[in-house]
Amino acid sequence: MINKTVETAINEQIKHELYSAYLYLSMSAWAEANNLAGAAHWLRAQFGEEQGHAMKFYKYIVEQGGRVVLGGIAQPPSEWTSLLDLFQQVLDHEKKVTALLTKLYEVALAEKDYATQFLLQWFINEQVEEEKNVTGVIEAIKMVGNSGTALYMVDRQLAARA
């Protein structure tokens, strides 16, 4: 049976994961509106990943005999000044998620919930990869600037994400 303190904290994390998905879908819509189909594709893939993360937590609570209680999700922003601005916001958001997962791990540690600690190690490793990937995109955009053929090539590269 899942510890109630941990259950509450994971339910809160589900809300954050779903907000992340919603944010990336909003970013994808902005990219579509600005003729950045590759970035839109990349962000929709990110949207799907975040939904998957929420469901991984959801299933974990259920498998541990707990109850999932969904909280409200805030409206995400819908405007960015450039593709660079957008991806810098992605990185900032991923860093926030990393901090949230670290706090959740600390809750599991304090409650001596070893199964949840094991689960969270996967998420923390995933965050290291997420931050690395977004940093790479930011560096590529910085190299080419915000317009022209080079930005088009970066956008096409973003479209290649599986």
Supply the DSSP string of the chain, one letter for each residue: ---HHHHHHHHHHHHHHHHHHHHHHHHHHHHHHTT-HHHHHHHHHHHHHHHHHHHHHHHHHHHTT----PPP-PPPP---SSHHHHHHHHHHHHHHHHHHHHHHHHHHHHTT-HHHHHHHHHHHHHHHHHHHHHHHHHHHHHHH-SSSHHHHHHHHHHHT--
Report the topology of domain 4-159.
Answer: Ferritin (1.20.1260)
- What is the sign, positive or negative, of the torsion defined by CA atoms of 150, 49, 73, 134? negative
Q: What is the mean pLDDT of residues 123-138?
A: 97
Whether the Cβ atoms of residue 40 and residue 32 lie closer than 8 Å to each other: yes
Give this prediction's pTM.
0.95
Model confidence over 139-159: pLDDT tens digits?
Answer: 999 999 877 888 899 999 999
Tell me how far apart the alpha carbons of residues 71 and 76 are, in angstroms, rounded to a whole number. 15
Tell me how far apart the alpha carbons of residues 98 and 152 are, in angstroms, rounded to a whole number. 31
Q: How confident is the model at residue 132 (pLDDT cuts 50, 70, 90)?
A: very high
Phi, psi of 2 (to 5 degrees): -75, 140
Model confidence over 69-125: pLDDT tens digits?
Answer: 999 999 999 999 999 999 999 999 999 999 999 999 999 999 999 999 999 999 999
Contacts of 84 (CB under 8 A, 6+ apart): 138, 141, 142, 146
Cα atoms found within 13 Å of the Cα of residue 49, Cβ hemisphere only: 17
Locate 140 and state its tokens.
């590529």
**What per-residue confidence (pLDDT) applies to 156?**
93
